[in-house]
Structure 1
């Protein structure tokens, strides 16, 4: 009979993964640049008028839940305050909310794109949200890859397959020195190769790309982001009548509707202008190569299964898009 060995571990060595509430669907009613807002209220009204019938289509999908339960659908809108700031929250947000209301739509949650990039002001010791996601990237090794190209953490570029060789002089790249085309990993028939720029740098300042911030945004909506186990980008209730003059005075994610279903959801659907199609393709490339918190994934899979709407473990498989004409 052997004596059992005692194993001691610090509590902080295994942080508990915080649980988050889930809606069935997170419905994004738009993502516009500051240039779009500069065109005025009429531009916003045209946007929401075009979005409304497609938003109703997404709601119809969620209404057909197998369990017959009332669907929990939360709406959100992402404002670009990261790449430019041509207006103030005090001027822009009321105009935005008014245009949505006149179209018969309600924005439950309002997010700032800079909130997907920057560090939490309450935790200055932590890295920014985008940087923390970058450290979780695990590049899919392309068939025949030889490690010639530096990792994404150094280059800032992420691909969905094998790039065309940069040099014809290496025998490891091509025995006969001939040009080779890029190839998508797991392509069905023909390749659709994508190489995504995640950031660029100028004078030591890093600017995250729209595609990478949109990937962070999707992970946040799916409830898969954690920092030492705690949930991040948690909605802040907004009960004030006026909005501030400075964007940095506005929390990164606001809950505008007190009775709204949860911000995080098993599935996401985004109604976007067609010009975002290449960006969202790049988003899927990123999502397919992010190592998310396993416990966070397990929570969503287990709970969605109990509700009769099982969510797949693949993050990209939980995202969907609508690109209406004329948006």
Structure 2
């Protein structure tokens, strides 16, 4: 019989967990698909004109959260969907976005590729998050269901009856409703597909990539201790192809940090279901404890209120869908 074995490691041999600069709030000025650009710059002007009052209100709220006499650190960002369908070119798309935003008194500090949530500079952020998923088993179960890494699905409760095969001659069980794990009197059951099988391997779902996007904005992802998808300066010329564009591009050299203690996304109402699914994903991600401690301690040193749960650090404004108005 072999006795217990101990492994010793020098502290210096462990990867150092890099600290990332943090704004108070990151404001997402939109997330548009290919068809949303069909109306040209006038369509984009309508979008930014619609969200401008919400951005102004958010800036006032952040100033109050930062405290009297403190200058709030606010950065803005915009996400372009090039993962499911690559279109046009970064220089054309970003140029139109910057012009349309500027016409409405708004500045886009950072622009990001949705494909960068899948792969960024040799690192795969989506894979990092998948590896850190810890599915929340329903109360009273033994947790033996296949993990989301195998099934490609994540839920916030007990799956509905009929989801598993029954013997052909088995007696039909009585109907039982699906149940939310942390329900408040009544259940809101959500099942989220996080990936499917594609010709080149996993194809990530929009909600899962959106959850990765939120984690990047919250400064929560590290790979071997280093920050993931760190913003790169735009330089004198914008990239002419999506393949050569960094995951996150800093357009404004004077911008506050890309990552922030809290995030706010101003989105069209059609994104509401996707963002509900983002909450399901984020509630079951086990963030590196050292990263979580760093952010928590820094917020406390600044006297900036920060909820423990990542989901509570995310806010939304859902408004009309002006980009599809004709």
1:291 maps to which of 278, 281, 286: 286
Contact 1:67–1:307 under 8 Å retained in 2: no
Is the partner of 1:18 in helix, strand or coil?
A: coil
Match of 2:3 in 1: none
Q: Does 1:111 align with 2:107?
A: no
Q: Does 1:139 align with 2:140?
A: no
Distance 2:150 2:190 in 1: 18
Q: 1:7 to 1:90 in 2, by over 3 A?
A: closer
Is the partner of 2:30 in helix, strand or coil?
A: strand
Contact 2:211–2:282 under 8 Å retained in 1: yes
Match of 2:233 in 1: 237
What is the aligned-residue RMSD (CA, Å)?
2.1
Q: 1:293 to 1:67 in 2, by over 3 A?
A: farther
Deviation at 1:52, TM superposition (A): 0.4
Is the partner of 1:323 in helix, strand or coil?
A: strand
Q: Does 1:34 align with 2:30?
A: no
Pairs within 5 Å for 1:152-191: 152-165=148-161, 166-167=163-164, 169=166, 177-191=173-187
Q: Does 1:323 align with 2:321?
A: no
Match of 1:66 in 2: 67
Report the TM-score when normalising by structure 1: 0.91
Match of 1:15 in 2: 15
1:258 maps to which of 253, 257, 263: 253
Distance 2:164 2:239 in 1: 53
Pairs within 5 Å for 1:197-208: 197-203=193-199, 205-208=201-204
Report the TM-score when normalising by structure 2: 0.91
Between 228-237 and 141-150, report the one with greater CA deviation. 141-150
Pairs within 5 Å for 1:71-86: 71-86=72-87
Deviation at 1:11, TM superposition (A): 4.8
Between 36-45 and 46-55, report the one with greater CA deviation. 36-45
Deviation at 1:91, TM superposition (A): 1.7
Deviation at 1:113, TM superposition (A): 0.4
Match of 2:51 in 1: 51
Q: 1:148 to 1:168 in 2, by over 3 A?
A: farther
Between 25-34 and 147-156, report the one with greater CA deviation. 147-156
Is the partner of 1:111 in helix, strand or coil?
A: strand
Contact 1:300–1:311 under 8 Å retained in 2: no
Match of 1:216 in 2: 212
Pairs within 5 Å for 1:272-287: 272-287=267-282
Is the partner of 2:319 in helix, strand or coil?
A: coil
Deviation at 1:72, TM superposition (A): 0.3
Distance 1:103 1:9 in 2: 56
Deviation at 1:117, TM superposition (A): 0.5
Q: How many residues are treated as equivalent by the alignment?
A: 313
Deviations 1:286-322 (A, max 9, x none): 0000001111111111111121212122111100000
Match of 1:3 in 2: none
Q: Mark the runs of 5 or more structure 1 residues left unpaired by the alignment.
A: 1-5
